[in-house]
Structure 1
Amino acid sequence: MRSLLLALIDQWRAPPPAGSQAGSQPNRRTGWLGQWTYAHRGLHSADVPENSPAAFARAIDAGLGIECDVQRSADSRAMVFHDWDLDRLTPHTGPVAALKAEEIERISLPGDGGTIPTLERFLEQVGGRVPVLIEIKSRKDRRILPICLAVHRALDGYRGQCAVMSFDPRVSQWFARHSGHVVRGLVVTEEGTKNLAGRLRRHFALWIARPEFLAYDIRDLPSRFAAAQRRRGLPVLSWTVRTAEHLQTVSRYADAAIAEGEAAQARKSALAGSPQA
């Protein structure tokens, strides 16, 4: 009875994309999501840093979609960078949000990675050649409006396949309300909470977010929650897919992989050897 009630509320509060249902043809709005493998933070390696123009170029050349991370600068521009602080990947220290976009754009990434790009520059580099997943970084103690607006502005006029996603359900909710033409997703990790309290938290996040797809932690698959949403017509992507075993899990329980390392290279090799390559 409890499961049926939750399913009914899911359908009411977070309906799948129009026309999507289990067993139907892929929805035109979201069907492309499951047709690609996405390079996690670009096709990076020990010599090519994550979220760098060089990693993005390698992904494009390999025929892989791209997942990237964005957060805002001090002047509310969307910058393609994962960490809150600059320390791990650059010679600089301190928070990204303390600097203006023009200052951040001058910061070099390791090796020949290039400099930290704005979201606009990243999209210009991609140019619609491969699809893009944009993970919007947020914190519960920060307003989401500045970064959501920054991403919205950067996407204005972009014609390539793209989607935004976030762990923060408020982000997907904002795009549902204010930028409805942008495909939106909820990033989910169960963190071992497969009990009733954990299930309820996931449903509450779903109802707030109203997502059109899920990006699910590979460590949590198979998942009762993910399977239920997938049956309703929400594509399920999975991160971070690193091994051949992970790829097998994705093939059984999800629609597409957000991959790096061994798994990304395996997919790159498969694409290079296909008749379409």
Structure 2
Amino acid sequence: MIPRLPDAFLGAPLAHRALHDVTDGRPENSRAAIRAAIDHGYGIEIDVQLSADNQAMVFHDYALDRLAEGTGPVRVVPAGTLGQTPLKGGYEGIPTLPEVLEIVAGQVPLLIEIKDQDGAMGDDIGPLEQATAAALNGYDGPVALMSFNPHSVARMAALCPDIPRGLVTGAYAADDWPLNAATRDHLRGIPDFDGVGASFISHEAADLARQRVADLKDAGANILCWTIRSLAEEAQAREVAQNVTFEGYLAPHPG
């Protein structure tokens, strides 16, 4: 049976890369941003990348340059070194997924995006999925997994069959995605939803009017969306989406 997204993921809004604000010392995906989201009662969306020694690191970008006091790819640096690499605008290094799970400890829903490691949304994957599954072993809080790469989601179905899983989806505009046209066209249609045993999508907010999204919702899929940056955007997105991933403002709690 395909695991369903817990109701907790359809309640409190989801803080994108946690409740980050570098003006307050809370970089993206940092421990400080995670604690702030918990304090505000928000769900949390985080990203994981792979270290050189096959550890799941909570970090969005493939390279260190934008977010951390370092340069070059994350995946060539050991976890211990990454942990000592300061995040820009904060006071700490890059956390591992086990560290973040220990902080969250089931207090709020946690949505984990596994970043594509193939480079072209193909099947050259495995170590990051394995590291993520190992970290989640024994975690009993509300958690769900997702990726843009359907191969990654399928691998998580095999590794963690009881954890809800979904696809991150969107319009796949050529200017935004360095993928060939055939791959963009394939992913845009979300044809892998049933094959990977997904129960939800997190869809690009500006593309929520796509018919395929409506069809999935009608068939019982849960619809989340990314990334909302204002109350006005949130109101429009909620005409389709059941919850939002937000940043840059404090999204209101339902009710």
State whether TM-score is above 0.5.
yes
Say whether 1:91 aligns with 2:69.
yes
Q: Which residue of 2 aligns with 1:46?
A: 22
Alpha-carbon contact 2:169-2:187 (below 8 Å) kept: no
1:20-76 Cα shifts (integer Å, max 9, x gaps): xxxxxxx6x533321221000011113221111111111000000000010111111
Shift of 1:199: 7.3
Which residues of structure 2 form unaligned runs of 5+?
Answer: 175-183
Say whether 1:67 aligns with 2:45.
yes
| Separation (CA, whole Å) in 2 of partners of 1:125 and 1:180 | 24
Quick one: which of 202, 209, 223 aligns to 2:189?
202
Q: Percent identity?
A: 37
Say whether 1:261 aligns with 2:248.
yes
Indicate how the Cα distance of structure 1 residues 184 and 91 shifts in structure 2: closer, same or farther if over 3 A, else same.
same
Amino acid at match of 2:233: H
Q: Which residue of 1 aligns with 2:180?
A: none
Other structure's SS at 1:252 match: coil
Alpha-carbon contact 2:13-2:251 (below 8 Å) kept: no
Indicate how the Cα distance of structure 1 residues 102 and 30 shifts in structure 2: closer, same or farther if over 3 A, else same.
same
Q: Which residue of 2 aligns with 1:58?
A: 36
1:75-124 Cα shifts (integer Å, max 9, x gaps): 11100001111111122111110011111111111233422100000000
Indicate how the Cα distance of structure 1 residues 199 and 248 shifts in structure 2: closer, same or farther if over 3 A, else same.
farther
1:245-269 Cα shifts (integer Å, max 9, x gaps): 221123210110000013xx132xx
| Separation (CA, whole Å) in 1 of partners of 2:113 and 2:16 | 10
For the pair shown, the structure with the greater C-alpha radius of gyration is: 1
Quick one: which of 86, 96, 113 aligns to 1:108?
86
Q: Which residue of 1 aligns with 2:12?
A: 36
| Separation (CA, whole Å) in 2 of partners of 1:81 and 1:174 | 20
Shift of 1:208: 4.1
Alpha-carbon contact 1:55-1:113 (below 8 Å) kept: no
Q: Which residue of 2 aligns with 1:3?
A: none
| Separation (CA, whole Å) in 2 of partners of 1:178 and 1:139 | 17
Alpha-carbon contact 2:2-2:164 (below 8 Å) kept: no
The structure whose residues are more often helix, as a share, is: 1
Amino acid at match of 1:30: P
Say whether 1:182 aligns with 2:158.
no
Instruction: Report the aligned-residue RMSD.
Output: 2.2
| Separation (CA, whole Å) in 2 of partners of 1:221 and 1:136 | 22
Q: Which residue of 1 aligns with 2:181?
A: none
| Separation (CA, whole Å) in 2 of partners of 1:266 and 1:42 | 13
Shift of 1:198: 3.9
Which residues of structure 1 form unaligned runs of 5+?
Answer: 1-15, 19-26
| Separation (CA, whole Å) in 2 of partners of 1:233 and 1:99 | 42
Q: How does 1:121-136 map to 2 (within 5 A)?
A: 121-136=99-114
Alpha-carbon contact 1:133-1:162 (below 8 Å) kept: yes
Indicate how the Cα distance of structure 1 residues 227 and 110 shifts in structure 2: closer, same or farther if over 3 A, else same.
same
| Separation (CA, whole Å) in 1 of partners of 2:188 and 2:27 | 35
Amino acid at match of 2:153: S
Normalising by structure 1, report the TM-score.
0.81
Quick one: which of 118, 129, 134 aligns to 1:148?
129
Amino acid at match of 1:70: V
Alpha-carbon contact 1:49-1:113 (below 8 Å) kept: no
